[in-house]
Amino acid sequence: MTPNHQQRLARQDVNERQRFLNLARQVSETIGNQFFSLLVKELGGVLGAQCVYIGEFVVGGSERVKTLAACVEGAQVGAFEFPLEGSADADLRLGHPCLYARGAREAFPGDRRFAICRPMRTSASP
């Protein structure tokens, strides 16, 4: 086998590997999104919660939470973001769970997600 032929085979192998990884990433994102959407809907029903969401912390500039899936009053809603600072989720960033049986709006008056979710109580886990 000539060096040129070996190089061509190596490039082809890298290209095939990259195409496979791209496909796997796309499938994973699709399955993940469907899973998270189903999970928030089911959790909302089981817990009797008005608003359930799964989010990720986004850093850079101002820290915020970006939802991956959300369900409000039993209906799927589009993704939304809210600032982490002053939110009930701020302790989650530190790895601490958050539970307010009542008075969540009063405890976090600057929490903009309450305009979407309107909870009286809140619970969150890292």
Give the integer Cα–Cα distance in Å for 23 and 31: 12
The residues that bridge with 64 in the sheet, in sequence order, are 58, 83
**What pTM was estimated for this model as a whole?**
0.67
> For position 1, what pLDDT does the model report?
61
Structure tokens at 21: 């990884």
Report how many domains make up the chain: 1
The residues that bridge with 58 in the sheet, in sequence order, are 64
Half-sphere exposure for 114 (CA within 13 Å, toward CB): 19
Structure tokens at 7: 């190089």
Could you list the residue range(s) of the whole structural domain that residue 74 is in? 3-124
> For position 119, what pLDDT does the model report?
58
Q: Which residue has the tokens 């032929």?
A: 5
Mean pLDDT, contiguous 10-residue spans, the chain (126 residues): 66 74 71 84 84 86 87 87 85 80 77 68 59
Give the integer Cα–Cα distance in Å for 63 and 60: 6
- Give percent helix, percent strand, percent coil of the chain, each to the nearest 5: 45, 25, 30
